[in-house]
Amino acid sequence: MRLEVHRRLAELRAAVGMDYGKCVQKLLGLAFLEAGALRLTDRSIQGIDLEVTLADRRRLALEVKTTEAEAIRLGDKDLEGLEARRAEGFQPFLAALGPNRLDDWIFARVHPGELRAKESYAPLLLRAWRDRELEAVVASTFPAVVLAHAAAAAVGRQSALNALLERYPAYARA
């Protein structure tokens, strides 16, 4: 991502504090919708974070993680939620965005037993499970979404982003 995108994300983090992860989750949802997702379900309250049906009909379950540190920590509920979605026909992924200027989204496939709860993973290490095709889908839209909507998110937080998401017929909130 461009330096300006990371600058906007840093400003958003400073403005919203603990809401940062949820705001980035919603920005990612907007990026998928802009990329032509047929369906996007935002599970802000419980369960995995996003369910996405892509134009090619792939059904994805995403646990979204952001970090200020150099590692991402997974909880039992994260992995249990992804496994439950796998049983329903979704492909489970960990969507990770690190804090550094050169970091970009990493979409790591989650296979049973390969990632463990309560362990920390550096985003760089998650590249072993990455899906480059999926990363390319988001790389084409996420920067523009951040540049267009980060300022509104900094002021209106999740509510502002929910209003933007609700403009898309393919969007649902669970």
Segment 67-87, tens digit of pLDDT: 888 888 888 999 999 999 999
Model confidence, pTM: 0.94
DSSP string, 102-121: T---EEEE--TTTS-TT-EE
Q: What is the pLDDT at residue 1?
A: 57
Segment 114-151, tens digit of pLDDT: 888 888 888 888 888 999 999 999 999 999 999 999 99
- Check whether 100 has a pLDDT greater than 80: no
Euclidean distance between CA atoms 171 and 161, whole angstroms? 12
Ordered structural domains, the chain, with CATH: 3-173 (3.40.1350.10)
Segment 18-70, tens digit of pLDDT: 999 999 999 999 999 999 999 999 986 777 999 999 999 999 999 999 988 88
